[in-house]
Amino acid sequence: MSDADLDAYRARARSWLEANLEPVGSPRPRATDVDPGFLAEERRRQRELCSAGYAGIAWPSTYGGQGLSSRHERVFNEEAEGFRTPDFGVLGQTTFGICVPTMLAHGSPELLARHVPHVVAGNSLWVQLFSEPDAGSDLAGVRTRATRSGDRWTVSGSKIWSSGAYFADHGLCLARTSWDVPKHRGLTWFAVPMDAPGVTIRRLRQITGASEFCQVFLDGVELTDADVVGEVDAGWSVARTMLATERGGGSRGAADAAHPADALAPDLVALADGVGRRDDPQVRDLVARAHVADVVMAELRSRVIALSRAGVADPGSLAAYVKLAHGTVTPERARIGLQIAGAAALSWPEGSAAEAATAHAFLAGRSQSIAGGTNEMMRNVIGERLLGLPREHSVDTDVPFAEVIRRTGATPAPGQGPSGECAR
């Protein structure tokens, strides 16, 4: 593929965008509360992209994508930056950046053909059903169970911090399918319709006032072998792919992402203009500091993905660098925004989006040091798996998971007896 080919693709994309999409004057805050009317409009926008050939750009054409390269995807994203493209809130990243790439890596052709074209067309949004009330940092310790009978499965348990579950169409759910092996084995992923009988969703109110987080209860949800993603009892390899993608080490096209070298923290510059502090030396210093962090983050992401593709180290381990950087830089950048806005980020006139977004970013910023793996966990991964430092002592690595539950006296998982013995 030559640069001339990409230039021609860029010109076609720019022409279509200008003719079909509404321009936006400034970056929009991500949607944090989605109602049916909003969702219907965003699905319509996604269908427009799909019909024009600009959805699923780097996904295989076999499954409804365009079968082009990540460089084409990057070019389109650059050109679309100033236009009103579909905004599915948190499920936009979860669906297009995490769940589908994970399924493309591990799903059967039949499963992909059944689901991915609907994602491309805007008809299906996906949520991660991963963490549990008793398995947050220790993700391999999930106790949602899936019991098999012939080609049928029954899934019961609870998932938490499932962002956007209340308007998702499907969930990618990790369940335990074998209790007599160590915790990293005996795990299996399932594609779960979120409107299936037995699925109950409870929204959780956050410090920002939004209710994106959800707890999902699965009570005897019936699935089939066709809903299995990857191999039965080999779900940890799928989980590692998902974690690498979520943490920034495996997103398709991410290595070719544009660097912000020519864009001086535009959100903060616009904020400084809005509060009349553009020429304040302290503010200019803060903007420069944020800009340096933006450039370093982009370079780090590109470097990590390039190393992953080159096979230098496990992508999931390398991604810990990106996740740790996000967990430290995001709260600091949010604090910079608050310093620039001052009192305007505490009280603002209705319709002042920049000030509202600044307050929201500050309240939500600390979550990046927890979500997807805490900063402390990422430091452990880097130290143990990449730098070769001694591993922390573990007492359950080679112990059947049912025995771990018995030893700890933990509350039995659904389907387990009082003694902790798993129901057969």
Q: Check residue 94 and report its DSSP letter.
A: I
Q: How many CB atoms lie within 10 A of CB 81?
A: 13
Helix or strand or coil: residue 389? coil
Q: At 154, list the tokens.
A: 């029954």
Residue from 246, 376, 392, 421 carrying the catalytic annotation: 246
CA pair distance 80, 85, nearest whole angstrom: 7
Q: Is 324 exposed, middle or buried (0-12, 13-18, 19+ CB in 10 A)?
A: buried
Q: Where are the beta strands (DSSP E) in 37-186?
A: 126-129, 145-149, 152-159, 170-176
Q: At 275, list the tokens.
A: 């509060």
Per the annotation, the verdict on 246 as an active-site residue is yes
CA pair distance 166, 206, nearest whole angstrom: 15
Q: What totals of helices (H) and strands (E) does the chain contain, helices first?
A: 13, 8
Q: At 188, list the tokens.
A: 């299996």
Catalytic residue annotation: 246
